[in-house]
Amino acid sequence: MSSHDDKPRPNGEEKPNRSHAKDAQDKNLPDLSRRRFIKGAGIAGMAASAGALLADRVVEALPRPQTGAAGAAGVLGPGEVPVTLRINGKTQTLNLEPRVMLLDALRNHLDLTGAKKVCDRATCGACTVHIDGRAVYSCTTLAIDAQGREITTIEGIGSAEHLSPMSQAFWNNDAQQCGFCTPGFVMACTAYLNHEPHPTREGLEKSLGGNICRCGTYMGIKDAVLEAANATKSKGAVA
Amino acid sequence: MDAFEYASPSTVKEAIALLGSDWEDASVFGGGTDLISLLKDDVEETKRLVNIKRIGALHAIQNDHGSLRIGAAVTIEQLMSASDVRRDFPSIPDAAEGIRSPQLHNMSTVGGWICQRPRCWYYRNGFGLLALDASGKSLVEQGDNRYHAIFGNSGPAKFISPSSLGPVLLALDGRIHIEGPNGPRDIAAREFFVTPQKQGDRELALAPNEIVTGVSIPAASRGMRNGWYEVRPKEGLDWPLTSAAVALKMNGATVESARIAMGHVAPTPWPADDAAKWLEGKTINEDTAAKAGDAAVQGATPLSRNAYKVQLARVAVKRALLAAVGQLATAASA
């Protein structure tokens, strides 16, 4: 996986960092967010090792069917191909290898770093996003397979200034400790409430079976969802 | 994970043409929740993914003169929401519920639910499906086999079949529909899951250039009371320790005929025919269900660290029987 996980991009493509940028400007200091710093320091080393990594991973091509019908089926890759994704209401086209996961496309190509990479094996839930309103593991969803679908990330349901009702309820109920699993939990809880008009503690426990919090903040999370359900009852959907 | 080619054909025929003659040539790509992890861990390799989710014909849940046909690309969530399925075959949504993760329900397909590879930790860590050492001895037998087979383990295969739909299909006399270069065929679920006998054998009766297009349950099974029970290691996402699926043809309160299949105890879903036969003419209650459980685990051959699974399998059979007749909630534990 390492060959494309943290793919460096030209600096010109970077967007201003959110809250860190604001703090930095206030103090008249250069914008040295952790993410931006690591990227800068990492690029030189990675460029040197990327060639070596790729060299022993040469793909031997499989013969493609010669028939017209199969040709129409359109074999893509293994190199980069244009992939058009609709994320948080915005359509964007990226050049990605077919093997690139949606999570890596979000984090490494679009700077949408809310969804987190933890287990990377469709188990822990830290990477949870919505596709057509349903919770999925973006670490195990191919970006190319998410084309034509409506993708919603944690960035799409609220902002630091305007928290979504679910995020606000997490805040109110102290439903996080280290916070790394939190975006995934917020997305899983939001999907649950959007499909369950009458949430119960038992139903909630089942619906959160696909997310893990190593800090063990489950009690706060359950309280948060029930609070969010009450807060949004009159408004309909949570996000 | 190596780079691969990707294709999204719109017909089964196109998809088959894109597959190869070896397993490493191409992989059928449904939900991908198992396949992608196997590729990331370099446990499996592939040169091409053939996405079957754009094939409209594979998305249907149909009632064909009473028989139920479920397309391979139907998601588990869609299957759980199908009221027709829930009414007549409650053991299917109950088994799906056991997967626990809504994300997996939303992503995973019925085809993948039966074709997922075993969870054996030797296999998943690159020691091969049979996990044999250089001298041909089983690493599982010598090592940590707490989650391995207690039946059907006399050969080199010690892993357990991971699918919870597998035992349900055996109990309901289901069939697996397959299509390859020579056209469609179908096979009894009971024959689809096989125990590998030597290195290179697979655990499914499927060729590399074939696609599972769906599963079906015959009309005759529609009137049968059916139930599912699984013993879980935890409430969150994980595979069962043991499970059981049952289907009962009732004549009033009496069992006319029965089918029982245990899950997660053998390299295949494991039929308990003697226990099913014993139930004929009986009524289902705590006592008869427990005795059927005893009969089902007769002949178990646990490995060094998994004798505990014999008791769990016995209880799973008992509770699946009670679930089938709606008595599980009132039943005393174990």
B236 pLDDT tier (thresholds 50, 70, 90): confident
Q: How far apart are CA B255 and CA B154, in angstroms?
A: 33
Residues of chain B with CATH 3.30.390.50: 224-324
Q: Which of B15, B26, B33 sits opposite A62 (nearest CB)?
A: B26
Q: Does domain B59-116+160-220 have CATH number 3.30.465.10?
A: yes
- Average pLDDT over every residue of B310-324: 98
Q: What is the mean pLDDT of each run of 10 residues along chain A (239 residues)?
A: 41 40 48 62 53 47 55 81 98 98 98 98 97 98 98 96 96 96 97 90 90 95 94 62
Question: Bigger pLDDT: B287 or A35?
Answer: B287
Q: How far apart are CA B195 and CA B107, in angstroms?
A: 28
Q: How far apart are CA B158 and CA B90, in angstroms?
A: 30
pTM of the model: 0.88
Chain A segment 52-91 residues within 8 A of B by beta carbon are 57, 59-62, 64-65, 67, 69-70, 72-79
Strands A128-131 and A134-137: antiparallel
Q: What is the pLDDT of residue B61?
A: 98
B209 pLDDT tier (thresholds 50, 70, 90): very high
Q: Work out the angle at residue B152's Cα, subtended by the Cα atoms of residues B302 and B261, and round it to the nearest 5 degrees.
A: 100
Tell me the β-bridge partners of A170: none
Q: How far apart are CA A95 and CA A107, in angstroms?
A: 14
Give chain B positions within 8 Å (CB) of A99: 1-4, 6
Q: What is the pLDDT of residue B205?
A: 98
Distance from CA of A77 to the nearest CA of B (A): 5
Query: Does A96 lie at the interface with B, CB-CB under 8 angstroms?
Result: no
Q: How far apart are CA B13 and CA B57, in angstroms?
A: 12
- Average pLDDT over every residue of B160-177: 98
Give chain A positions within 8 Å (CB) of B77: 134
Domains of chain A: 15-57 (no CATH), 157-232 (1.10.150.120)
CB B186 within 8 A of CB B44: no
Strands B67-71 and B183-188: unpaired
- Average pLDDT over every residue of B91-119: 97
CA dist list (Å): A56 to A46, A49, A59, A160, A205: 16, 12, 9, 44, 45
- Average pLDDT over every residue of B239-264: 98
CB A88 within 8 A of CB A151: yes
- Average pLDDT over every residue of B24-46: 97
The one-letter amino acid at B328: L
CATH number for the domain running over B224-324: 3.30.390.50
Residues of chain B with CATH 3.30.465.10: 59-116+160-220
Tokens representing A69 are 């019908």
Distance from CA of A32 to the nearest CA of B (A): 33
Q: What is the pLDDT of residue A35?
A: 66
Distance in angstroms between the alpha carbons of the first and the last residue of chain B: 45
Looking at chain B, the whole-number percentage of residues with pLDDT higher than 90 is 97
Distance from CA of A112 to the nearest CA of B (A): 20
**DSSP letter assigned to residue A15:** P
Q: What is the pLDDT of residue A156?
A: 98
B329 pLDDT tier (thresholds 50, 70, 90): confident
Q: What is the pLDDT of residue A85?
A: 98
Q: Could you give the maximum distance between any two Cα atoms of chain A, in Å?
A: 65
User: Is the pLDDT reported for residue B229 higher than 50?
Assistant: yes
CB B11 within 8 A of CB B2: no
CA dist list (Å): A155 to A86, A140, A147, A222, B222: 13, 20, 19, 22, 47
Q: What is the pLDDT of residue A205?
A: 87
CA dist list (Å): B223 to B61, B247, B249: 18, 9, 7
Q: What is the pLDDT of residue A235?
A: 59
**Cβ–Cβ of B7/A73 closer than 8 Å?**
yes
What residue of B is the nearest CA neighbor of A5? B1
DSSP for A83-148 reads: EEEEETTEEEEEEE-TT-BHHHIIIIIS---SS--SS-SSSS-TTEEEETTEEEEGGGSBGGGGTT
- Average pLDDT over every residue of B183-209: 97
Query: Does B49 lie at the interface with A, CB-CB under 8 angstroms?
Result: yes
CA dist list (Å): A179 to A102, A188, A217, A218: 21, 15, 10, 12
Distance from chain centroid for Cα B326: 23
**Cβ–Cβ of A73/B17 closer than 8 Å?**
yes
A3, A100, A145, best to mutate vs chain B, most B CBs in 10 Å: A145
Q: What is the pLDDT of residue B48?
A: 98
Residue from B21, B26, B31 nearest B49 by CA: B26
- Count of CB pairs separated by less than 8 Å, A with B: 137
Query: Does B40 lie at the interface with A, CB-CB under 8 angstroms?
Result: yes
**DSSP letter assigned to residue B326:** T
**Residues contacting A40, CB < 8 A, separation 6+:** none
How confident is the prediction for chain B on average, in pLDDT? 96
CB B178 within 8 A of CB B11: no
Determine the number of helices (DSSP H) and then strands (DSSP E) in chain B: 14, 12
- Residues present in chain A in total: 239
Q: What is the pLDDT of residue B193?
A: 98
Give chain B positions within 8 Å (CB) of A78: 2-5
Each residue of B60-96: pLDDT tens digit?
Answer: 999 999 999 999 999 999 999 999 999 999 999 999 9
Each residue of B123-139: pLDDT tens digit?
Answer: 999 999 999 999 999 99
CA dist list (Å): A121 to A147, B37, B39, B160: 21, 5, 10, 20
Question: Bigger pLDDT: A73 or B57?
Answer: B57
CA dist list (Å): B98 to A207, B51, B213: 11, 26, 24
